[in-house]
Amino acid sequence: MPAERTYHNRVNGEHTTIIESSAETGGSYTLFEVKLSPGGGNPIHYHTKFTEEFFAVSGNLGLYLEGNNISLSPGQNILVPIGAKHRFFNDTPQDIIFRVKLCKGQPDFERFLIVMFGLVNDGKTITKNQVPKNIFTLVVMYGWGDTHLVNPVIKLLSPVIKAIGRIAVKMGRDKMLTDKYCR
């Protein structure tokens, strides 16, 4: 893991600090702390390899979970099970701080986060949903993040995405991204 542990995403106003990496917890969990600006958030998605537990620290954390909007006040938490459609957001006028615990630990998600923020800040993504411009980068990121967008077209294309991902790895795209952003 790089010496730097706090990463900034200028598109959604997010600052994320890796508090405990998967390597540091023996693979048990990964723990992040997120500072999110007003209006910040991510698209609706789900994960197939890990749960996420959200802990509100400062301000009210907005969560969409399986069709319901939830507001967590400081001290409250909620567990998002594997496969549950969710997103986090800040619909308040001030910055909020929350923590996210991934179980089991997710070294690939840690790498996904570091590289994604680097791509965003280098202008190598499009749309508010921060989609990488390069198809080979996109499919590598898709594999690392286990972050599946709720989109029927993406679901339909999933086998093609996985096949292109194998080509991208053979081309060394994963190594190039890791070398550039995870120093």
Confidence of residue 128 (pLDDT cuts 50, 70, 90): confident
Q: What is the pLDDT of residues 106-120, one digit of tens each?
A: 999 999 999 999 999
76-92 confidence digits (pLDDT tens): 999 999 999 999 999 99
CB 122 within 8 A of CB 133: no
- The reported pLDDT for the residue numbered 2 is 52
What residue ranges do the domains of the chain occupy?
6-106, 108-181
- Paired with 80 in beta bridges are 52
Q: What letter represents residue 7's amino acid?
A: Y
Check whether 163 has a pLDDT greater than 80: yes
Task: Tell me how many degrees the CA angle 135-90-88 measures, rounded to the nearest 5.
Answer: 50
Q: Mean pLDDT across the stretch 10-20?
A: 90
pLDDT value at 157 more than 90: no
- Fold for 6-106, please state it: Jelly Rolls (2.60.120)
The tens digit of pLDDT for each residue in 23-32 reads: 999 999 999 9
Tell me what the mean pLDDT of segment 31-49 comes to: 93
pTM equals 0.90
Closest CA to 50 of 100, 114, 117: 100
Amino acid sitting at position 28: S
> In the chain, what's the furthest Cα-to-Cα distance?
46
